Amino acid sequence: MRRRRFLDCIAAVGLPLVGAHASAAAPTLRVGLTAVILADQAAFLARWSEYLSERVGVAVTFVARDSYQAILDLLFAKQLDAAWICGYPYVRHQAQLRLLAVPLYQGRPLYQSYLIRTRGAANLNGWSDLKGRVLAYSDPLSNSGWLVGQAQLRAAGLGPQDLRRSFFAHGHSNVADAVASGLAQAGCIDGYVWETMHLQKMATVAATQVIWRSDFYGFPPIVVRRDDPNAALALLGQTLLRMHDEPGGQDLLRALNLGGFAKPAPALYDSIRSLVKLVHGAHA
Amino acid sequence: LISFIPRLPYRIQVPTGLAVAVTVSVLMVSIVAARISERTARREIVVTVQRVITLLAAQGRPLLVAEDTFRAYALLRNTAALLPDADKGHTRAAILDADGRFLAGSDPLRLPTGEQALGVSVNARLLPRAKDVTTPRTVAAADGSLSLLQPILSEDEKVIGFVLAEVDAATFAPDWMALSKPGLIGAALAILVLGPLGWLAGRRMAQPIAQIVRSIALIGRVDPAKVRELLPTVADIELGQIAGAVHRLVGEMVANQANEQRALAAERLAAVGRITAAVAHEINNPLAGLLTAVRTLRLHGDAPDTRLRTVDLIERGLHQIGTMTTALLPQARVEDRCLSPNDLEDVMTLARANASTHAVSLDAARELGADLLVASTVFRQVMLNLLLNAIKAAGEGGQVHAALYADPQTVRFTVSNTGRAMSKTELQQRLGTEGGNDPQGFGLWICQEFAIRYGGGFEASDPSAISPPFSTSLSFWLPNRHHHDDQEVAAD
């Protein structure tokens, strides 16, 4: 429902701007959002958009989609100028993408993947217990919501056929929703998203329990096309890096449950690169 | 309650009755409405569920093709809200894959993802196998619940999945609260209005009844005219009949009272006449004997014994007349001596003058087995009356025999005579005329009165028990008590 409300808002605010980009000359920066954050908060996004627009000097708008691939498609089609995506698609498309900024979560540009279960399901305590169960993933291009899970299932000696069923829930919050309702007995979810939902006391998270935490991986970055010459993007990057220095920026960061943004280095995502090799090698 | 209500006043009975009637009516209407509602609701529920299934089949087809469990779940969760009683968990829906396994269900805990649904028992319902469901199916369970199945077809008519909807029996159960709520509100309003109105109506109904009751209670205690004044004038037919009946009753009572007054006055006059006649009769009876004694005194008064005996006889005769006239007064208490054998002689003496006049043979006998403890005046008068009556009945040349008997219990005087016979029945008929209409019968009537008054008897003997040549025998007796003054008057 939140997603539906959000999409309605985006349809009212963001999409017309995307459509206008092709024909209007007014400078605008369009930033794509995915399930790496709780993007279903129109009021917050409006405030953040206003904050960034004032400092960058051009209108900054947000465009959300419930799949990473859709955002990537828009980005590569030059319908978007920047996108907040997961580390896994960045690694997959790093030749075409440039890191603009990376969030700091609990002081570091790192996060974890969680395996969650329905609260009270005492006989499900780890990956090896998933045999014959239903497992929910977030997105096929999500590191925490798919790639980590694939590696762990492999490590537990389980293949896709050992699960009763698995499905993509099209977003981390939907994974929590699916597990809470019993649609799936377990789910792979972004640890930052789960903790933020927990912080906001969302009912769906309260009905779930974390039964496993992964190693730390590079936090989902904000990326731009490597060949995009738009000078405003540099201003956008500098504004993001300075957000934690201003009270207005701090308020927005607090709402995002983040400490700030930092200048990322490609090496931050080496662990994901290793995971990709592991999983894709296994698949091969 | 039924037996208790009639004991309540009308101003309580009427509103209570109205309230009970309204409540019972609401109850009956609610029951009938529930039955009708149950039938129509079942049809409507099934139609609604079928519409939801049609919607799910259309919207779920691309999700089924994409095996998109979460979006199928989101669709089911939102669409299931259209199902009746979904909020209570009584209905649920699911999308199944081509093998009949749950792709997603609106209630994942009861419709678990990935588990087999068709061909097995799910939630205590055995559903048909997937290959047997090529058209919409409705499976009714014994408990009244329903499972509706609709295949989802590809564009080339191949079954690629199913929509399943489960409707629990509770969904079809009448919602008594909802059904009875309007009726109960109406009943409450009706009672609110009918209560005071019923109270007033009850009071209005009871008022004339209470007035009639008060009037009836006064009958006999106040003037009937006053009773009539108090009787209400009512328009109600039944109450009017009651009031009319009371009117007639009072009228009849007035008439009866007047008749009783007249009868009492007549009775008093008759009683005075009877007493007067009786006094005259009782005085007249010994007069003939006394006159004979006077003649005897005149003729033989020179002889001292004869004079003395005759004077004594006259004295006793006069004394008897005096005592007798007093005794005939109903409230008088007479100071009298006990009967003695000489009294029989006196009476025989007084009667002989009459007997000789009628040429009747007269004799007497006595058998005294005990003292004579009866009042002399009464017994003398009875003996004289019976003797004179027998002499008269015997007629010229007839015979009369008198006998006085005494035992510890009774003193009896029997007079037998020849001539016309008098049976028991004839004696009773004679006495029944009360003598007042027949001056000739006063003697017998007085005997009867004395017998009743002093606890004795007076009767005629059965003809078969009478010794020849006599044809009639009358017997008078009184209890033989210690002293006549101690005798209690048996009748007054």
Contact check, Cβ <8 Å, B115/A184? no
Contact check, Cβ <8 Å, B108/A183? yes
Contact check, Cβ <8 Å, B71/A170? yes
What would the two tokens of residue B451 be? 């017998």
| CA of B77 vs chain A CAs: smallest distance (Å) | 10
Q: CA A39, CA A44: separation in Å to the nearest integer?
A: 9
Identify all chain A residues contacting B100, using CB atoms and an 8 Å cutoff.
none
pLDDT of residue A63: 93
Using a CB–CB cut-off of 8 Å, the residues of B that contact A are 67-71, 73, 77, 104-105, 108-109, 112-115
Measured between CB atoms, which of B70, B77, B113 is closest to A170? B70
Question: Closest-CA residue in chain B for A138?
Answer: B70
What would the two tokens of residue B310 be? 């005759």
Going by C-alpha positions, the residue among A58, A49, A39 that lies closest to residue A190 is: A39
Contact check, Cβ <8 Å, B73/A181? yes
What would the two tokens of residue B223 be? 């003037």
- C-beta neighbour count of B200 within 10 angstroms: 13
| CA of B122 vs chain A CAs: smallest distance (Å) | 17
pLDDT of residue B451: 86
Q: Which residues of A, range 106-145, sit inside 8 Å of B by Cβ? A: 134, 136
Question: Closest-CA residue in chain B for A3?
Answer: B74
For residue A6, the surrounding DSSP H or E stretch is helix A2-21
pLDDT of residue A15: 40
Size of interface A-B (CB pairs under 8 A): 38
Helices B69-79 and B10-65: crossing angle in degrees, nearest 10, is 160
Contact check, Cβ <8 Å, B104/A168? no
pLDDT of residue B268: 60
Using only C-alpha atoms, what is the Rg of chain B? 57
Q: pLDDT tens, position by position, for chain B (492 residues)?
A: 556 666 677 777 777 777 788 778 777 877 787 777 777 878 888 999 999 999 999 999 999 999 999 999 999 999 988 898 888 889 999 999 999 999 999 999 999 999 999 998 877 778 899 999 999 999 888 888 899 999 999 888 899 999 999 999 888 877 777 777 777 787 788 788 877 887 888 777 778 888 888 888 888 778 888 888 888 887 778 878 888 888 888 888 888 877 877 766 666 666 667 667 777 777 777 787 888 888 888 888 888 888 888 888 888 888 777 777 776 665 555 567 788 888 888 888 888 878 888 889 999 998 988 888 888 888 888 898 898 889 888 888 899 999 999 999 999 999 999 988 888 888 887 776 654 444 456 778 778 888 888 889 998 988 888 888 899 999 999 998 754 444 444 333
Q: CA B384, CA B339: separation in Å to the nearest integer?
A: 13
Going by C-alpha positions, the residue among A102, A90, A99, A106 that lies closest to residue A141 is: A90
Measured between CB atoms, which of B70, B104, B113 is closest to A174? B70
- C-beta neighbour count of B440 within 10 angstroms: 11
- DSSP letter string over B33-91? HHHHHHHHHHHHHHHHHHHHHHHHHHHHHHHHHTT-HHHHHHHHHHHGGGSTTGGGTSE
Contact check, Cβ <8 Å, A181/B112? no
pLDDT of residue B42: 84
| CA of A234 vs chain B CAs: smallest distance (Å) | 38
Q: CA B43, CA A61: separation in Å to the nearest integer?
A: 52
What would the two tokens of residue A240 be? 């993001």
Contact check, Cβ <8 Å, A168/B68? yes
Using only C-alpha atoms, what is the Rg of chain A? 19
At residue B32, what is the residue type? V
- C-beta neighbour count of A249 within 10 angstroms: 21
What parts of chain A have a pLDDT lower than 70?
1-26, 36, 38-40, 282-284
pLDDT of residue A23: 41
Which residue out of A165, A166, A188 would a mutagenesis test of the B interface target, given it has the greatest number of B Cβ atoms within 10 Å?
A165
| Partners of A218 in the β-ladder | A110
Say whether residue A216 is in contact with chain B using an 8 A CB cutoff: no
Contact check, Cβ <8 Å, A178/B73? yes
Which residue out of B96, B97, B113 would a mutagenesis test of the A interface target, given it has the greatest number of A Cβ atoms within 10 Å?
B113
Whether pTM > 0.80 for this model: the answer is no
| CA of A163 vs chain B CAs: smallest distance (Å) | 10
Decide: B35 and B214 in contact? Cβ < 8 Å.
no
| Partners of A134 in the β-ladder | A165
Going by C-alpha positions, the residue among B433, B406, B422 that lies closest to residue B459 is: B422
Identify all chain B residues contacting A164, using CB atoms and an 8 Å cutoff.
113-115
Identify all chain B residues contacting A167, using CB atoms and an 8 Å cutoff.
67-70, 113
Q: Measure the CA dihedral B57/B60/B64/B66, to 10°.
A: 150
Measured between CB atoms, which of B70, B105, B115 is closest to A167? B70
Contact check, Cβ <8 Å, A167/B108? no
Identify all chain A residues contacting B112, using CB atoms and an 8 Å cutoff.
134, 182
